[in-house]
Amino acid sequence: MAVKDFAGKIAVITGGGTGMGRELALALASEGCSVAMCDVSAANMAETERLCRAAAPQGTMVHCTRADVAIEAEMNAWADEVRTAFDTDKIHLLFNNAGIGGGGSFVAGERAAWERTFNICFYGVIHGVRAFLPLLKNAEAGHIVNTSSINGFWATLGPQRPHTAYSAAKFAVKGFTEALIVDLANNAPHITCSVVMPGHIGTEIAGNSMRIQGGVEKELSFILETQGIDPSTLSEDQIIELANADFRDTAPMSSAEAAKVILDGVRAGQWRILVGEDAKVLDQAVRAHPDQAYTQGFLDSLQAKGHFPNL
């Protein structure tokens, strides 16, 4: 049974402070869906909460909690908090949206950054499902949305840029969600799920990742160097703002547009949701030429068609 009408439902969203998480919260709240969100930035969540309350019909609840999705105890505590705050034993929608970049090289990079990225992007999804599955089971119908990426089927940012932690995590999210579809069909058939694979979406993931990783990593400074900007001449805040602006403002699709595609996909009962024309083109190209996917020629052919110009 698909969740087609969001009014009067309860949605849980991780990473609700910015980007697609914020836009999902705003779109759902405006339809009369009560929203519980978590993020590691209380300030960002406060702004999302303000926007949601302004857009939501009377009686729609919005609740925020600071929680790190990589820490299972914090996610379990958040689930208990949602039960109390909403005085409920059920939710209807779970969006495991939180993610960061970093830890690009398994070979030459720092292990701490690698594991931080993997733990947020993959175990954040696992912890979210485990924490909220009992509440989803209690609903008449429920739906889980796990955010993977185009890097869940193309494990690179181009031949010169290792992207191992993020790509490994996003491949794992895709595989877990596909396996979960069968698991739910057998053991909780009133719950369905989707895997979301966005292309380049206008979010603040570049700068947010730098802050969460505790510094400006070499991989995340790459885009500045390709523009002839020496990161050593700028403060960390300046680099973060430049990286955010470049990634966000050059994206072919905004976070709000991406949120609409995702919610439309949920309404339609789609289990596989590609977000953005670049994601669709890349998916077709990888399927057509898997043996060439990690060559410079493969990227060149995509760029010749106007896709991924910044890689």
> DSSP secondary-structure letter at 68?
-
Q: How far apart are CA 247 and CA 259, in angstroms?
A: 17
Q: How far apart are CA 245 and CA 236, in angstroms?
A: 14
Active site residue 166: yes
Q: Which of 122, 166, 176, 298 is catalytic?
A: 166
> DSSP secondary-structure letter at 190?
T
* Strand extents, DSSP E, 29-183: 34-39, 62-66, 93-96, 142-147
Our separate counts of H helices and E strands in the chain read: 12, 9
Cβ atoms 189, 136 nearer than 8 A:
no
Q: Which residues pair with 192 in a beta bridge?
A: 143
Q: How far apart are CA 256 and CA 51, in angstroms?
A: 13
Q: Which residues pair with 253 in a beta bridge?
A: 201
Q: How far apart are CA 67 and CA 22, in angstroms?
A: 15
Phi, psi angles (nearest 5°) of residue 33:
-95, 125
Q: How far apart are CA 219 and CA 117, in angstroms?
A: 13
Q: Which residues pair with 94 in a beta bridge?
A: 12, 144
> DSSP secondary-structure letter at 12?
E
Q: How far apart are CA 245 and CA 229, in angstroms?
A: 14
Residues tagged active-site: 166
